[in-house]
A and B are shown apart, each in its own frame.
Chain A
Amino acid sequence: MSFLLGATLVAVTMAMACALPGVFVVLRKNSMLVDGIGHAVLPGIVIGYAITQDLGSPWLILGAALAGLVVVLGNEYLTRTGLLAGDSPQGLVFPALFSIGVIMVTADFANIHLDTHAVLVGDLNLASFQQLTIEAPGRSPNLDLGPVYLYVMLAVLLVNVAFLAAFYRQLKLTTFDPQFARTLGIRSGALNTGFMFLVSITVTAAFNGAGAILVIALIVAPPATAYLLTDRLPVMIGLTVGIAGAGAVGGFWAAYAANAATSAGMSVFYGVVFLLVLAATRAARARRRRSSLQRTTGTRPTTPEQALIG
């Protein structure tokens, strides 16, 4: 497999693995919590590396994801105390965890050599560098199966698909109407923790390729864009996967052509697509409203409410 093809496949797989749980992240209004998780996994990764000495180890990913869960549970606890207003609980825990991570990195704890740059934006090309090869009998060059990282992200994607398939109705119910879900006997607390753990795993796995900050773009932007286009959940999921895949290819090649960091290119690409879709839907709605008003009354609305009815 050529390096470029391998890296493109990694980008697409990573984008889909992130965007899929992102649908529920956006609908549950947890988008900025992902920002917190993205930072909080840093100390988890450093400690995990100290134990496993392998940044791609699944144990490291699971362990580091626990650090992300600290942000989720810490946020829930601080919110429940009722002592803090608004979204501040989300902004209190993760900077402290990230600080611990940065101190550990600079103190050369565990001899981990993370480029500070890469912590924030990752390096997809570097992550895709290590190739999975299998010695095939009777073939002189070993069988090249593409980047190892591709299989890591593929595994995460499959886990996400399996989780969403198994808990689709429960997730939908607890997101749409948590109280009703509880009367049906759904344990929304456990479901929420499980789901956020999965998000945390996804973030950790994508950390190498996308870094702490740009992983937010991968998780939030495609579903948010899809949300502008539909009010049907299954359609939204389909659109999300489509936008994530197309954006990954587009962003990857744009970044490649501009010789820029892949994840930065992807996140700008997603952002621009979002803004274009936003502008298009606004324009379409304004046009619809104007034409239907002319049809029904032939006059301009006098109040915003009338405009809405039209």
Chain B
Amino acid sequence: MIACQTSGLSVAYHTEPVLRNVDFSVSAGAVMGIVGPNGAGKSTLIKAMLGLVTPLTGTSEFFGQSLSRVRQRVGYMPQFTSVDWDFPTTVRDVVLMGTYGRLGWLRRPGRAEKETAATAMAQTGITDLARRQIGELSGGQRQRVFLARALAQEPDLFFMDEPFQGIDAKSQRAIVSVLHRLRQAGKTVVIVHHDLATVQDFCTHVTLLNQTVVSCGPVDEAFTSEHLRHAYRVGDTEQGFFEPDNSRGPRVEVAP
């Protein structure tokens, strides 16, 4: 089953094309890493799929339907949040916001929602920060709060944009453990990632992107030295470029 797919997606900022005719699909249960050099359009791909950026051409589907029909099943953790850090709100309240989408009009978060939020906070290790104002946290703690908010939404499909960017080791471990837990629960994750060395640690699938899709598939097929050189536009003669260690085999089992 396909969790999400997009076809013929092109995005231009003003008149500068960032993505050209991208075809991309993720099967349910996969942890799909989106990898590519700076300016490859990794974040733009996610944003265009989620309707945060208006694409020039192309369509996206989630679970075979348009996004507006299945919004509750799709979670998103942005790289740079548009958050107002001085906003008078606590960590618990922010995590609870994840449940707002499924509450309709006028209904207030009840016990079930509060329990969901508490579980999400426990999984990301921020339970003891619950009563803090959101601006009082460190970068890694903030990142975990937004992961917890995405978890509280209880989506089947997660989009994460560079969740490991500039955070401390403890937060990094917390996020990796959440990723493993999600995979075990059969959730689908699309994760923008820039560290080639750790891609194989938690991704089952990889998309190499540089304005267009260079390769897309299970890690051992798509994440090859040849594709990488292509995606990063590195010549064959240049030495010292990253070589994926495919000899050790995938460290995670590819989901069926």
A and B in direct contact, judged by CB atoms within 8 A? yes
* Chain A residues packing against B (C-beta within 8 Å): 27, 165-166, 169, 172-173, 175-180, 182-185, 227, 230-233, 235-236
**What residue of chain B has the Cβ atom nearest to residue A184's Cβ?**
B101
- Say whether B90 contacts A173, CB under 8 Å: no
Q: How far is the CB of B51 from chain A (nearest CB, A)?
A: 7
A177-B88 contact, Cβ under 8 Å, with A166-B106, A185-B68: no
| Bound-state Cα–Cα, A293 to B87, Å | 27
Query: Can you report 29 residue pairs joining A to B where beta carbons are below 8 Å apart?
Result: A27-B84, A169-B103, A175-B84, A176-B83, A176-B87, A176-B89, A176-B94, A176-B97, A177-B82, A177-B83, A177-B84, A179-B78, A179-B82, A180-B76, A180-B78, A180-B83, A180-B149, A182-B51, A182-B52, A183-B52, A183-B76, A185-B101, A230-B88, A231-B88, A231-B89, A233-B88, A233-B89, A233-B93, A235-B88
Complex partner residue of B105 from A166, A175, A232, CB under 8 angstroms:
A166
Q: How far is the CB of A179 from chain B (nearest CB, A)?
A: 4
Q: How far is the CB of A209 from chain B (nearest CB, A)?
A: 29
Most buried by A among B51, B76, B87, B89: B89
**What residue of chain B has the Cβ atom nearest to residue A178's Cβ?**
B82
Q: Is B5 interfacial (CB-CB < 8 Å)?
A: no
**What residue of chain A has the Cβ atom nearest to residue B159's Cβ?**
A183
**What residue of chain A has the Cβ atom nearest to residue B97's Cβ?**
A173
Contacts of A177 in B (CB 8 A): 81-84, 97
Contacts of B93 in A (CB 8 A): 233
| Bound-state Cα–Cα, A278 to B84, Å | 21
* Chain B residues packing against A (C-beta within 8 Å): 50-52, 68, 71, 74, 76, 78, 81-84, 87-90, 93-94, 97, 100-101, 103, 105-106, 133, 149
| Bound-state Cα–Cα, A58 to B71, Å | 40
**What residue of chain A has the Cβ atom nearest to residue B149's Cβ?**
A180
- Say whether A232 contacts B89, CB under 8 Å: yes
Contacts of A176 in B (CB 8 A): 83-84, 87, 89, 94, 97
Q: How far is the CB of A237 from chain B (nearest CB, A)?
A: 9
- Say whether B100 contacts A169, CB under 8 Å: yes
| Bound-state Cα–Cα, A223 to B83, Å | 20
Contacts of B68 in A (CB 8 A): 185
**What residue of chain B has the Cβ atom nearest to residue A226's Cβ?**
B88
Q: How far is the CB of B251 from chain A (nearest CB, A)?
A: 31
**What residue of chain A has the Cβ atom nearest to residue B100's Cβ?**
A169
Contacts of B87 in A (CB 8 A): 27, 175-176, 233
Most buried by B among A176, A180, A235: A180
- Say whether A180 contacts B88, CB under 8 Å: no
Complex partner residue of B71 from A27, A180, A185, A227, CB under 8 angstroms:
A185
Q: How far is the CB of A158 from chain B (nearest CB, A)?
A: 17
Contacts of B149 in A (CB 8 A): 180
Contacts of A227 in B (CB 8 A): 88
Contacts of B106 in A (CB 8 A): 165-166
- Say whether B82 contacts A231, CB under 8 Å: no
Q: How far is the CB of B16 from chain A (nearest CB, A)?
A: 15
Contacts of A233 in B (CB 8 A): 87-89, 93
Q: How far is the CB of B133 from chain A (nearest CB, A)?
A: 4
- Say whether A184 contacts B100, CB under 8 Å: yes
Q: How far is the CB of A242 from chain B (nearest CB, A)?
A: 16
Contacts of A165 in B (CB 8 A): 106
- Say whether A232 contacts B90, CB under 8 Å: yes
Most buried by A among B74, B87, B133: B87
**What residue of chain A has the Cβ atom nearest to residue B68's Cβ?**
A185
Complex partner residue of A183 from B50, B83, B84, B133, CB under 8 angstroms:
B50
| Bound-state Cα–Cα, A165 to B106, Å | 8
- Say whether B71 contacts A231, CB under 8 Å: no
| Bound-state Cα–Cα, A179 to B78, Å | 9
**What residue of chain B has the Cβ atom nearest to residue A174's Cβ?**
B82
Q: How far is the CB of B15 from chain A (nearest CB, A)?
A: 14
| Bound-state Cα–Cα, A176 to B81, Å | 10
Contacts of B76 in A (CB 8 A): 180, 183
| Bound-state Cα–Cα, A64 to B240, Å | 69
Q: How far is the CB of A15 from chain B (nearest CB, A)?
A: 21
Q: How far is the CB of A80 from chain B (nearest CB, A)?
A: 13
- Say whether A180 contacts B84, CB under 8 Å: no
Q: How far is the CB of A145 from chain B (nearest CB, A)?
A: 32
**What residue of chain A has the Cβ atom nearest to residue B78's Cβ?**
A179
- Say whether B82 contacts A232, CB under 8 Å: no
Q: How far is the CB of B52 from chain A (nearest CB, A)?
A: 6
Q: How far is the CB of B44 from chain A (nearest CB, A)?
A: 14
| Bound-state Cα–Cα, A219 to B88, Å | 18
Contacts of A232 in B (CB 8 A): 88-90
